[in-house]
């Protein structure tokens, strides 16, 4: 790139990004699934707009403040895929959000306590607020057992909420060799949960699942909606899981070689630029797009120490493209994405929902 | 706290913070050491002001953009403890920084390439820019071997830079039972490096070291300056290393219990609020200040799953105080610190250098 960008900074390849957006839109369309991408990955209205223009039915968000940012940017159909607890403060923000013209919000629930708080603080809001019951499909994080979904749905409906269906996040798809198993678990859990809702007299209009690693594998007819997030950019985790090939990685962190201490390469892209995620199965703290053999073997806030496998070390002062392990946390550390096309800087997009985590 | 704060948010206990600032100031004064706290931990001018008022000689920063923020806030004596590579862009920013009235900047160097770039782009700037040679005292991240410090100092001086001394970061003090060994390594490495500078005809005016785990252990007369950072707040890492007791932890993340899925406690303080750091020796992804037996056993962007050891689970909707593993990355995820005294909200401080990582 001819511009002397301050490093570390995040750089998006526009053509690769658009290719990823199209590919997932096509996959969803081919299987008759609604696509509702998770916007926590990019936190950027400019990217949300491209996803919606490519056919996404709405957005998934993780927090009320993300919902606020994307509603302000014109997105009117939002699913808050999280067991939100409606405190007085959260309730007031949700009511304010729903006062916007045409905004419809779905919220996750996995306990009667949260359902009651939501009913008391917000209510059905003339049909503009509805809930999906979260079920645990094997990640063991949040969600009720699938067979208990009907009871919670009935209780939530009794509390005065509009129950639209069920959802899960098959987070255990983030494991080597775990993708197909997680996709199978996801379909089975959602099928059980949907049947439990019907048994309780609630028709599940929405049966929502999907993660980037499992998105291509859930097509037995159970799901009505997919919610992948990371697919827009890809990252080192997806590369190592085999759910994305390196040529489809659309976001890298441009970093400067600052030292050759100890005969290794030290970059200025530390954990404050890349995020500190490292899954137990990851081969390092991040990878280099143009040097597949290299690994970040030590990561601190402003240093990435790289074991370099190619013959010659890149010169001090030269620049390399780092692939973060987990792109969602990398993006949340930056205020701007530098957008490039054919190697030229064509735009800068604000990460408008960076830090919008309440 | 009576105010219904949006969670997750970072809350500072002002009295504990001031106690930590005084304690470190006293430790440095008793041993005749200059104290130059690392501001990357708090990124907050309000806290820097309290450190300077308590006797700190200046601040340590990690990036040019942090230097810019703290200079704009009135700090005139800054050490950029990093092997900065002065590209055209970085050089221009450093020159602009040094044009401010009375600002003096020291910069780390650990290669002749970086020294030459700095000399070419910035130069000595009428004595307002000087460099410290970085040596590796055992962390094996950046820095030359201590015995090579004289040669690099002579080359940097020859390139036109003003060489003020040597520095190291004994990062291997971040290991259980490793604190005393790292402090010993640090003193030995700095003594060797200082002698190497003298041997090369450069008088080391500054011999700078210090990390929070090793700060209390380096008093053989080698060091002239201490640069701890984390001590202002403390965190779960320091708690587990034994370098701080839990009653001295000044910053916690206020979190809401959002789920009891699987009979565990799930909090809304995920890695986007706490940072994703987890050292291999850490007992979890974070701890709870008021429940020392509890551990965060699973952490994703917006969920912290806690193994709860007390009898009863805290109610859904109730709030707890989470101690992040590594406070520097937690702070870098937030724009504001909520300041409390005796449990009452007394102020809000901007994290002015949040994201200032270039």
Of A104 and B211, the structure prediction assigns the larger pLDDT to A104
Residues from chain A that touch B258, judged by Cβ atoms under 8 A, are: 82-85, 114, 142
| Residue range A258-287: mean pLDDT, rounded | 97
Question: A residues 223-262 near B, CB within 8 Å?
Answer: 256-262
Query: How large is the average pLDDT for residues B152-160?
Result: 97
Residue A354: count of CB within 10 angstroms of its CB: 21
pLDDT at B354 over 70: yes
Residues 144-173 of B with CB under 8 A from A: 144, 171
User: Are A75 and A47 in contact, with CB atoms under 8 Å apart?
Assistant: no
Q: How far apart are CA A248 and CA A92, in angstroms?
A: 41
Contacts of B221 (CB under 8 A, 6+ apart): none
The model's confidence at residue A50, banded by pLDDT at 50, 70 and 90, is very high
Share of chain B above pLDDT 70, in %: 99
Average pLDDT over residues A51-65: 98
Residue B32's contacts (CB-CB under 8 Å, 6 or more residues apart) are none
pLDDT of B2 over the 80 cut: no
The mean per-residue pLDDT over the stretch A325-340 comes to: 98
> What does the pLDDT look like over B86-135, one tens digit per residue?
999 999 999 999 998 889 999 999 999 999 999 999 998 989 999 999 99
Q: Tell me which of A150-154, A306-310, A336-340 is least confident.
A: A306-310
- The rounded distance, in Å, linking the Cα atoms of B66 and A245 is 36
Rounded distance, CA A338 to CA A348, Å? 5
> Per-residue pLDDT tens for B197-208?
999 999 999 999
Mean pLDDT of A26-53: 98
CB < 8 Å from A in window 297-316 of B = 298, 300-303, 305, 315-316
**Does A329 contact B272 at a Cβ distance shorter than 8 Å?**
yes
Segment A141-164 shows an average pLDDT of 98
Contacts of A141 (CB under 8 A, 6+ apart): A169, A171, B261, B266, B298, B300, B303, B305
Mean pLDDT value across residues B266-281? 97
| Class of domain B15-232 as given by CATH | alpha beta
CA A80 to each of CA A44, A63, A65, B50, B325: distance values in angstroms, whole numbers, following the listed order? 16, 6, 10, 41, 28
Contacts of A260 in chain B (CB under 8 A): 111
Q: What percent of chain A clears pLDDT 90, i.e. is strictly above it?
A: 92
pLDDT at A254: 98
- Comparing alpha-carbon positions, the chain B residue that sits nearest to A253 is B358
Q: Quick one: pLDDT at residue B177?
A: 84
B112 vs A: CB within 8 A? no
Model confidence pLDDT, tens digit, residues B30-41 = 999 999 999 999
The mean pLDDT of B5-27, rounded to a whole number, is 98
When pLDDT is cut at 50, 70 and 90, the band that residue B4 belongs to is confident
Across the interface, whether the CB atoms of B141 and A302 are under 8 A apart is answered no
Q: Residue B302 and residue A82: Cβ atoms within 8 Å?
A: yes
Indicate yes or no: CB of A329 within 8 angstroms of CB of B266: no
CB pair distance less than 8 Å for A111 and B316 = yes
Q: Does B318 touch chain A (CB under 8 A)?
A: no
Helix, strand or coil for residue A310? coil
Task: State the Cα–Cα distance between residues B212 and B156, nearest whole angstrom.
Answer: 30
A258 and B82: CB-CB below 8 Å?
yes
Q: Kindly determine whether residue B141 and residue A298, on different chains, have CB atoms separated by under 8 Å.
A: yes
Q: Which ranges in B223-315 belong to alpha helices (H)?
A: 236-241, 271-274
Mean pLDDT of B264-273: 98
The pLDDT tens digits for A73-123 are 999 999 999 999 999 999 999 999 999 888 999 999 999 999 999 999 999
Q: What's the confidence (pLDDT) of residue A178? A: 86
Residues of A with Cβ-Cβ distance to B171 under 8 angstroms: 300
Asked whether the domain spanning A237-350 has the same topology as the one spanning A15-232, the reply is no
Give pLDDT tens digits for B312-340. 999 999 999 999 999 999 999 999 999 99
Q: Is there a contact between A316 and B62 if contact means CB atoms under 8 Å apart? A: no
Residue B310's pLDDT is 75
pLDDT classification of B176: cutoffs 50, 70, 90: confident
- Computed over every residue of chain B, the mean pLDDT equals 96
pLDDT at A23 over 60: yes
CATH class of A237-350: mainly beta
Within 8 A of B84 by CB-CB distance, chain A residues are: 258
Taking CB atoms and an 8 Å limit, are B358 and A9 in contact across chains?
yes
Long-range contacts of B341-344 (CB under 8 A, 24+ apart): B341/B13, B341/B14, B341/B15, B342/B15, B343/B1, B344/B1, B344/B2
pLDDT of the residue at A2 = 52
State the pLDDT confidence band at A261, using cuts at 50, 70 and 90: very high
Q: Which of B112, B119, B316, B337 to mutate to test the interface with A (most CBs of A within 10 A)?
A: B316
pLDDT exceeds 60 at position A1 = no
Q: Give me the pLDDT at residue A218, please.
A: 87
Domain boundaries in chain A?
Answer: 15-232, 237-350
pLDDT confidence tier of residue B311, bands split at 50, 70 and 90: confident
Looking at the predicted structure, is the pLDDT value of residue A3 above 80? no
The verdict on A83 touching B (C-beta cutoff 8 Å) is: yes
Q: What is the pLDDT of residue A101?
A: 80
Q: Could you count the other beta carbons within 10 Å of the beta carbon of residue B100?
A: 14
Q: What is the pLDDT confidence band of residue A236, given thresholds at 50, 70 and 90? A: very high
Write down the pLDDT at residue A8: 98
Residues above pLDDT 70, as percent of chain A: 99
């Amino acid at each position: 790139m001819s511009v002397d960008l301050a490093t570390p900074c995040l750089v998006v390849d526009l053509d690769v990004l658009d290719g990823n957006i199209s590919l997932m839109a096509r996959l969803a369309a081919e299987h008759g699934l609604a696509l509702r991408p998770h916007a926590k990955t990019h936190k950027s209205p400019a990217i949300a707009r491209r996803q919606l223009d490519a056919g996404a039915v709405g957005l998934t968000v993780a927090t009320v403040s993300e919902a606020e940012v994307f509603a302000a940017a014109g997105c009117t159909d939002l699913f808050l895929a999280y067991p939100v607890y409606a405190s007085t403060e959260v309730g007031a923000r949700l009511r304010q959000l729903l006062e916007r013209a045409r905004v419809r919000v779905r919220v996750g629930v996995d306990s009667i306590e949260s359902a009651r708080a939501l009913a008391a603080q917000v209510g059905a809001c003339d049909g503009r607020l509805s809930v999906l019951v979260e079920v645990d499909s094997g990640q063991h994080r949040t969600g009720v057992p699938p067979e208990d979904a009907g009871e919670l749905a009935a209780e939530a409906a009794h509390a005065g909420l509009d129950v639209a269906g069920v959802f899960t996040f098959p987070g255990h798809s983030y494991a080597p060799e775990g993708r197909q198993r997680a996709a199978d678990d996801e379909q089975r859990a959602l099928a059980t949960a949907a049947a439990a809702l019907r048994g309780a007299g609630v028709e599940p209009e929405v049966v929502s699942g999907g993660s980037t690693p499992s998105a291509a594998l859930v097509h037995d007819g159970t799901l009505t909606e997919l919610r992948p997030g990371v697919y827009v950019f890809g990252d080192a985790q997806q590369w190592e899981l085999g759910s994305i090939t390196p040529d489809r990685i659309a976001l890298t962190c441009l970093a400067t070689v600052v030292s050759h201490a100890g005969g290794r390469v030290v970059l200025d892209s530390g954990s404050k630029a890349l995020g500190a995620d490292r899954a137990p199965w990851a081969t390092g703290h991040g990878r280099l797009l143009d040097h597949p053999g290299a690994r970040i073997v030590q990561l601190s806030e402003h240093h990435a120490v790289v074991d370099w496998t190619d013959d010659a070390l890149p010169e001090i002062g030269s620049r390399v493209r780092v692939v973060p392990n987990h792109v969602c946390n990398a993006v949340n550390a930056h205020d701007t994405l530098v957008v490039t096309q054919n190697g030229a800087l064509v735009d800068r997009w604000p990460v408008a929902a960076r830090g919008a985590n309440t």
